[in-house]
């Protein structure tokens, strides 16, 4: 299992006229969460792309429990429960202090330079071994 926590502060640009964070902007927060989760196990997403790989999203599910507000400090918890293969499955929770605001999941897959689905890079899989065996 891989787990990581990262914090961010809601920007004014992320609110809408309802006074809440616009519902589509949480996708950015999830992405920050998973990039951080990969960083903590030594995988740089920037480096993955430089090596010719991409990790596009195949599926996203978000449950909105409470709204985040401007200037809130959010805590994004990201978990990989299942050993990644060609697909990587992330689970997320976003809290403001003790309050749960968001529950979400995303499924990503590896893509090569020709923009076709592919196997994960060997180095990536090797790093995963340490966390799932």
Binding site for its own copies (CB under 8 A): 11-13, 15-20, 22-28, 31-32, 35, 44-46, 49, 54, 56-64, 67, 70-71, 115
Q: Which is nearer to its own copies, 107 or 132 (CB)?
A: 107
Q: CA-CA-CA-CA torsion for 67, 68, 70, 76, nearest 10 degrees?
A: -170
In whole angstroms, give the CA distance from residue 40 to residue 71: 26
User: 80, exposed or middle or buried, with CB in 10 Å at 0-12, 13-18, 19+?
Assistant: buried
Our CB check for its own copies shows the closer of 57 and 118 to be: 57
Closest separation between CB of residue 108 and its own copies, Å?
9
* Choice between 32 and 75, CB closer to its own copies: 32
């Amino acid at each position: 299992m891989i787990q990581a926590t990262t914090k961010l502060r809601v920007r004014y640009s992320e609110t809408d006229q309802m006074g809440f964070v616009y519902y589509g902007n949480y996708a950015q927060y999830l992405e920050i969460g998973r990039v951080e989760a990969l960083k903590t196990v030594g995988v740089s997403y920037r480096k993955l792309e430089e090596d010719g790989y991409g990790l596009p999203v195949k599926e996203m599910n978000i449950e909105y429990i409470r709204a985040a507000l401007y200037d809130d400090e959010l805590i994004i918890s990201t978990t990989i429960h299942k050993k990644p293969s060609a697909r990587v499955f992330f689970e997320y929770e976003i809290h403001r202090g003790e309050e749960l605001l968001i529950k979400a999941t995303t499924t990503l897959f590896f893509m090569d330079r020709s923009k076709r689905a592919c196997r994960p890079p060997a180095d990536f899989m090797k790093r995963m071994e340490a966390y799932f065996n």
